[in-house]
Structure 1
Amino acid sequence: MINTFKQYWANKFIQWLTVRVPVASEFELSNRNIFIFPTRFGLVYILVLLILFLLGTNYQNNVIILLSYLMGSFFITVKLTAFFNLKGLVIRAERYAQGFQGQDIPVKITLDANSAKHGLTLGFKDQSTTQVKYAGKTSNSNPKDRQTEVTIYFHANKRGIISPGRVKILSEHAFGLFRVWSWLDFGHELVVYPHPKAIASKHLLEMPSVAEDGELAVSHRDGDEFKELASFKPGESMSRVAWKQLARGQGKLTKHYHQLTGQRRHLSLDMLPPVSIEQKLSYLCYLVLQYSQASYSFGLSLTQKHINADHGEQHKQQCLRALAEFIG
């Protein structure tokens, strides 16, 4: 019953917030989108103030009454200070971000203000937060340094196109009596790719690859094939040195591989061993990254998505997004 009641009012608040603070790429904080409420310490402060006032009036003690008035004035002053600490802050955010499943996806936020803003905390709901000691222009700073770049993170537990929700900016400056915050919706869209999982080339099933002359060839392995050991030549990469042979006293040798250039490979679910769909997508993600790093030309076929063979950063992003959007 209580959970149902909480859920009802939570949904009502979200509906009201959608109208009050709609989606935008930039926000300037004002009395329209700033919320303020006493902290627990602030509520205790109010309780003590009321008790002192009642005691002063009951015993007609002017000193205690004066103290309660001073505490009340200080309380109102802190409230205004807390409000103006956020007022006027301009916040911008990049709408799109991408990352891999199981990782923290970084989202860039830009803070811009004509005056210094202190003790800011930013983050998505139920996610880790980022602390900003101060932002904006200070009396000693260069006018051009009024912008502050902040990175917040969203931990992606599943792949797909995810909407992380609103960004919360919070401050308890000053004295911790008030909590001032705002919920801002930048319409974020996070593309979460499958977690890349390495697969040994011997575990790949036979897959067709197309040579430059258009003839079909069959590749049993992923990546370059080992060819031979040869004497080390100055200028060769140290990563290719055969350290085992060197330790055995066989001299400094380097590993040489067949360069499988001139072939266009095609990745598909059928070329993978019989495992779950999510594991297959993780394998394909790994292969896409490996092939892109090696500058191979490759294509990708999923159930309802076919991408022609190509190479380059744009092609890699297209393939990774297709894996993220795949519905098995």
Structure 2
Amino acid sequence: MAQARLKQLVRIVRPSSQGEAVVDGRRIYILPTRYGMVFGVLLVTLLIASINYANNPAFILTFLLTGIFVQAIFHTWRNLLHLHLRPLYADRVFAGETTFFHFRLRGAGDRAHYSLQFGFREQAPVLADCPASGETEIQVPFQTRHRGLLHPGRLIVETRFPLGLLRAWCYVETDMEAIIWPRFLDAPAEQGEAANAGSADGDRGRGTDDFTGYRGYHPGDSLAHVCWKALAGEKGLLVKQFGGDRVKQIWLDFDALDETSAEIRLGRLAGAIRALASQPVHYGLRLGEREIPPDKGEDHYRKCLDALALYGGSP
């Protein structure tokens, strides 16, 4: 009961049913920065000196600077007010690399938001501006360490605009997650059982031996088969087609590896998949009770690595 009440007191910006988070005034924290505290000490010193010497110009300067400070409080708070933030997606990367969480920002009406800083706890932040009556996309980095599903936690949005005397910030609950692939280890491309397939992928279908012509690009096609010369000649995005009577197939089997550590096995398989993706072969994956049939292309590449990332949960 007490814990539930405590959660209600914490000011967190939560996304709506449409998935968009809007920063309202009651969710914004604001405190002076180090420069703001020095500025406050200066104001107190000026006030004491003005009273001590009964100096009217000193009074005017003190009240003028105080008014500027009060206005800075309002404008710093207002720079976060009604900021719209929509989570998009997260990049898939290997463990140890930096993934990026993508967000779309939208301002309120015709008012722009300047010098906004976005970052997760203990991670490097990124700076961005949100134009008036427009949208912009940002990429917030996160340094990964382990494979599996990564939950980055709450996004911290802050600003020190316009004078740097105050820091206003809020916490945004994003509920985002990223799939982090195992840290790949150098491995021979042909780890596992090799086989040759015939007519199903021969001259009447897809192969790897002889060039047979061009066709339009389909999502998931290997970039190694894209005809870049045709693209440079403004002929569109074309993909080279190959035929042949035999297509090499390779099975990657988790249980067939000698290493005792499951993480090392997953790293070896990730390295083998990474190497095979750039070769004209079809590869399949046997991972415990799960079996992914041999295939190739970007979609198959991600499917295999996703299976490795989610195997047995996070380490």
Task: State the identity %.
Answer: 25
The one-letter code of the counterpart of 2:73 is: K
Alignment of 1:1-328 (within 5 A): 15-16=7-8, 20-23=12-15, 25-113=19-107, 114-132=110-128, 134-137=129-132, 146-200=134-188, 204=191, 207-209=192-194, 211-212=196-197, 261-274=246-259, 276-294=261-279, 296-327=281-312
Distance 1:14 1:279, change over 3 A: farther
Distance 1:72 1:13, change over 3 A: farther
Shift of 1:65: 2.9
TM-score normalised by the chain length of structure 1:
0.70
3-state SS, counterpart of residue 116 of structure 2: strand
3-state SS, counterpart of residue 94 of structure 1: strand
Could you tell me whether the CA contact under 8 Å between 2:106 and 2:130 is conserved in 1?
A: yes
Runs of 4+ in 1 over 6 A off after TM superposition: 11-14
3-state SS, counterpart of residue 44 of structure 2: helix
Distance 1:90 1:156, change over 3 A: same
Shift of 1:29: 2.3
Shift of 1:325: 1.4
TM-score normalised by the chain length of structure 2:
0.72
The one-letter code of the counterpart of 1:185 is: E
Could you tell me whether the CA contact under 8 Å between 1:95 and 1:187 is conserved in 2?
A: no
- Unmatched tracts of structure 1, length 5 or more: 1-10, 138-142, 214-223, 225-236, 238-258
Could you tell me whether the CA contact under 8 Å between 1:95 and 1:186 is conserved in 2?
A: no
String of CA shifts for 1:263-291, please: whole Å, max 9, x gaps.
Answer: 44321123334363322211211222333
String of CA shifts for 1:215-259, please: whole Å, max 9, x gaps.
Answer: xxxxxxxxx9xxxxxxxxxxxx9xxxxxxxxxxxxxxxxxxxxx9
CA distance in 2, matches of 1:311, 1:20: 44
How many matched pairs?
Answer: 265
The one-letter code of the counterpart of 1:154 is: F
Larger Rg: 1
**Alpha-carbon RMSD:** 3.2
- Unmatched tracts of structure 2, length 5 or more: 199-207, 209-223, 225-243
Distance 1:178 1:91, change over 3 A: same
